[in-house]
Amino acid sequence: MSLFDMTGKVVVITGSSRGIGLAIAQEMAVHGAKVVVSSRKQDACDAVTAALNAAHGPGTALSVPANISSKDSLRNLVDTTRAHFGRIDALVCNAASNPYYGPLAGISDEAFRKILDNNIIANHWLIGMVAPEMLERGEGSITIISSIGGLKGSTVIGAYCISKAADMELARSLADEFGPRGVRVNCIAPGLIRTDFARALWENPETLKRSTAVASLKRIGEPHEIAGAAVFLASRAGAFTTGQTLVIDGGATISGGA
């Protein structure tokens, strides 16, 4: 059996109707997982679910829309998943918000709170709903999609970077709490990826040039290039990995020296 085999495992992925979340859902299904597709819009979730079921067999995927800003909506996501599949083996917290692009001095309190609420507190809520059954079984994997923004400063997405740095610490602290009972918590920190979410960055010629110029691979990433890491962390291949932030950025954070 492959170390990356996910057969029989149930994986919940937020923000999985497009971008990185969609790529993770697709790759989890390829490796045999039962996938719960979740984002805000029912029709978007249903389209992904239909495609996964067509490609990998009926019953592979379940569509459960959820708004991460609503605790009740997240509770419904968890309850519906358990009612349908009976358990949750892995969680990928991918959904996030970034409603503001500009210096921190100009951000409104409302926008700042939305970023912190959706990118940190919502993850804490959802993990708190899913973790108890994992702890009881003595196994499980939780992955938060963070960002290299959490490792760097920014003049235009500072609040988002703050939230992603907090996600890394959330993973470290929960890994320490949950580890003795067999549950692992990690982060993936992508660099600039060609998604709708990051469109304001990669469609800006100057930002794109700056990002690719310092990266070792001299290009931005594609969503599928993050998906393999999510499978690694959720599968037996990642069984001894916890509390870590796996940076996948084409070398953007290690390059730039003379």
CATH for 126: 3.40.50.720
Q: Is 227 exposed, middle or buried (0-12, 13-18, 19+ CB in 10 A)?
A: buried
pLDDT tens-place string over residues 76-111: 999 999 999 999 999 999 999 999 999 999 999 999
- The set of catalytic residues is 160
What's the mean per-residue pLDDT of the chain? 94
Number of domains forming the structure of the chain: 1
Q: Nearest 10 degrees: CA dihedral of 197, 203, 204, 210?
A: 90
In a domain, residue 209? The reply is: no
Domain hosting 54: range is 10-193+221-248
Between the alpha carbon of residue 208 and those of residues 95, 171, 179, 205, the distances in Å are 23, 29, 39, 5
Please give the Cα distance from 55 to 63 (Å, whole number).
15
Q: What's the rounded mean pLDDT across residues 227-234?
A: 98
Confidence band of 196 (pLDDT split at 50, 70, 90): confident
- pLDDT for 203 beyond 80: no
- pLDDT for 198 beyond 80: no
In a domain, residue 215? The reply is: no
DSSP 143-171: EEE--GGGGS--SSBHHHHHHHHHHHHHH
